[in-house]
């Protein structure tokens, strides 16, 4: 009976962790500026990670982040958008056989480079 009560809680925690942005790599630059490089499965996820990293970096100093510029690029192995479409089609086909193939879309298909400063 207890496991039935805890299962929704565990699933909620796990889904929250998967949706939260990951910290990117921060590179200090001159004039109190920083560059962050973040990756994500989608362009929005990469940008969210870069913003989260900038916000966290400045918040540690008691300041707010100001984005100076940013650029997001697709770095996947196939044409942009095709990996996810192929993965979806294969999932439907392979549901019947029960076999699994590696996914073509990856968690680092998009890369965001962002310049920011703390004020």
Closest to 65 (Cα-Cα) out of 40, 25, 34: 34
Mean pLDDT of 45-59: 96
Scored b (16 or more CB within 10 A) or e, 14-37 reads eeeeeeebeebebeeeeeeebbbb
Q: Which two three-digit tokens encode residue 117?
A: 């400063």
pLDDT tens digits, one per residue of 14-43:
444 455 688 899 999 998 899 999 999 889
pLDDT of residue 2 exceeding 60 = no
Model pTM score: 0.65
Percent of the chain past pLDDT 90, that is, above it, reads 45
- At residue 19, φ and ψ (nearest 5 deg) are -90, -15
Q: What is the mean pLDDT of the chain?
A: 77
Query: In angstroms, how far apart are the furthest CA atoms of the chain?
Result: 59
Are the C-beta atoms of 51 and 41 separated by less than 8 Å? Answer: no
Q: Residue 75: pLDDT band by 50, 70, 90 thresholds?
A: confident
Domains of the chain, CATH where assigned:
2-77+104-118 (3.10.28)
């Amino acid at each position: 009976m207890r496991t039935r009560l805890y299962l929704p809680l565990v699933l909620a925690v796990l889904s929250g962790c998967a949706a939260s942005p990951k910290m990117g790599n921060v590179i200090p630059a001159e004039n109190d500026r920083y560059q962050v490089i973040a990756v994500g499965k989608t362009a929005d996820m990469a940008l969210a990670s870069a913003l989260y990293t900038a916000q966290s970096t400045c918040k540690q100093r008691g300041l707010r982040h100001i984005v100076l510029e940013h650029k997001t690029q697709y770095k996947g192995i196939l044409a942009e958008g095709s990996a996810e479409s192929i993965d979806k089609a294969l999932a439907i086909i392979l549901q019947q056989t029960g076999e699994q193939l590696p996914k073509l879309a990856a968690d680092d298909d998009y890369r965001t480079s962002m310049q920011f400063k703390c004020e």
